[in-house]
Structure 1
Amino acid sequence: MKNPLDSAALNAAIENVHRAGMPGLFAEVRDGDQVWRGAAGVADVTSGRPVTADMRHRVGSITKTFTAAAVLQQVESGQVGLDTPIGRYLPKLVPGERGDAITVRMLINHTSGLAEFLPYAYRMPVVADTRPQSLDDHRFTRFDPVELIEMGVTAPAVGAPGGAPGVYSNTNYLLLAQLLEEVTGTAAERYITRNVIERAGLRDTELPAGPYVDGPHSRLYEAWFGMIDPPRDYSVYDMSYAGPAGSLISTVADLNRFYGMLLAGEIVGPSSLAQMQRTVPVISQEGKTIDYGLGLHPMEGPGQGTFWGHGGTVWGGGALAMTRADGQRQLAVAVNMQRWNRLDSSGKPQPHPIDGALATLYGLAMYG
Structure 2
Amino acid sequence: MTALAVIAAPATATAAPMGVDRAGLQRGLDGLVAAGAVGVLAEVRDQDGVWRGASGVAELRTTRPVPVHGRFRAGSITKTFVATVVLQLVSEGRLRLDDTVEAWLPGVVPDGHRITVRHLLNHTSGLYDVVRTLPMPPKQEFLDNRWRTWTAAELVARAVANPATFEPPGSAYAYSNTGYLLLGQIVEEATGRSYKEEINSRLIRPLWLSGTSLPGTSTRIRGPHPHGYVPISQDGELLDYTRMNPSVFGAGGEMISTARDLNRFFAALLGGRLLPGQLLDEMMTPGIDGGLMYGLGLAWWDTSCGIRVYGNDGDAVAYQSWSFSTQDRRHQVTVALTPNFRADLDDAVDAFLDEAVCT
Tell me what 2:127 maps to.
114
In structure 1, give the amino acid aligned to 2:348.
A
Quote the sequence identity (%).
36
Tell me, yes or no, if the aligned pair for 1:90 and 1:179 is still in contact at 8 Å. Answer: yes
Structure-1-length-normalised TM-score: 0.87
Amino acid paired to 2:333:
L
Counterpart amino acid of 1:214?
Answer: R
Q: Measure the CA separation in 1 of the matches of 2:330 and 2:214.
A: 27
Q: Distance in 2 between matches of 1:282 and 1:245?
A: 24
Question: For the residues of structure 1 that align with 2:173 and 2:318, how far apart are their CA atoms?
Answer: 27
Counterpart residue type for residue 42 of structure 1: V
**Matched ranges for 1:197-276 at <5 A:** 197-209=204-216, 210-223=218-231, 227=234, 229-276=236-283
- How big is the shift at 1:36? 0.9
Pairwise CA distance, 1:120:
2.2
CA distance in 1: counterparts of 2:307 and 2:32, whole angstroms: 25
* Corresponding residue of 2:3: none
The correspondence for 1:19, drawn from 17, 34, 37, is 34
SS, match of residue 293 in structure 2:
strand
For 1:3-18, list aligned pairs within 5 A. 6-18=21-33
Alpha carbons 2:20, 2:48 under 8 Å: kept: no
Following the alignment from structure 1 to structure 2, what is the Cα–Cα distance between the partners of residues 8 and 187? 44
* Conservation of the 8 A alpha-carbon contact between 2:236 and 2:341: no
Which of 155, 175, 184 pairs up with 1:148?
A: 155
- Cα deviation, 1:77-111, whole Å, max 9, x if unaligned, reads 1011101211111113125xx11110000000000
- Runs of 4 or more, structure 1, over 4 Å off, are none
Alignment correspondent of 1:67? 82
Q: How does 1:277-356 map to 2 (within 5 A)?
A: 277-280=284-287, 290-337=292-339, 339-341=341-343, 352=344, 354-356=345-347
Q: 1:27 is paired with a residue of what secondary structure?
A: strand
Q: Is the 8 A contact 1:164 1:280 kept in 2?
A: no
2:313 alignment partner, SS class? strand
Aligned equivalent of 2:5 = none
Report if aligned partners of 1:165, 1:282 keep a CA contact under 8 Å in 2.
no
| Offset from partner CA, 1:246-304 (integer Å, 9 cap, x none) | 01000001000000100001112211111100013599xxxxx9521011111112454
CA contact (8 A) 1:5 1:31 kept: no
Q: What is the SS of the residue equivalent to 1:323?
A: strand
**Residue 23 of structure 1 aligns to a residue in which SS?**
strand
Q: Secondary structure at the match of 2:335?
A: strand
Counterpart of 1:104 in structure 2 is: 117
What SS is found at the alignment partner of 1:280?
A: coil
Correspondence 1:136 to 2:136? no
Q: Distance in 1 between matches of 2:32 and 2:201?
A: 36
Equivalent residue for 2:14?
Answer: none
Cα drift, residue 48 of structure 1: 2.4
TM-score, normalized by length of structure 2?
0.89
Report deviation, 1:312: 0.3
Residue identity matched to 1:365: A
Q: Which one is further off, 315-324 or 12-21?
A: 12-21
**Cα gap change, 1:323/1:138 in structure 2, threshold over 3 Å: closer, same or farther?**
same
How far 1:338 sits from its partner (Å)? Answer: 6.1
Q: Aligned partners of 2:210 and 2:90: how far apart in 1? A: 26
Q: SS of the counterpart of 1:39? A: strand
Worse-superposed segment, 293-302 or 246-255: 293-302
AA aligned opposite 2:61: T
Residue type matched to 2:95 in 1?
A: V
What RMSD, in angstroms, separates the aligned Cα atoms of the two structures?
2.1
| 1:154-197 Cα distance to aligned partner (Å, 9 max, x none) | 21110124344311011000000000000100011111111121
Q: 1:47 to 1:85 in 2, by over 3 A?
A: same
Q: In structure 2, what is the Cα distance between the partners aligned to 1:228 and 1:150?
A: 35
SS in 1 for 2:315: strand
Kindly indicate whether the alpha-carbon contact (under 8 Å) linking 2:76 and 2:314 is maintained by their aligned counterparts in 1.
Answer: yes
Per the alignment, in what secondary structure is the counterpart of residue 291 of structure 1? coil
Mapped pair 1:85 → 2:85: no
Structure 2: which amino acid aligns with 1:102?
A: I
Q: Which amino acid aligns with 1:293?
A: G
SS at match of 2:37: coil
Q: Which residue of 2 aligns with 1:196?
A: 203
CA distance in 2, matches of 1:338, 1:156: 34
Q: CA 1:282–1:165 in 2, change beyond 3 Å: closer, same or farther?
A: farther
In 1, Cα distance between equivalents of 2:105 and 2:289: 24
Unaligned runs of 5+ residues in structure 2 are 1-18
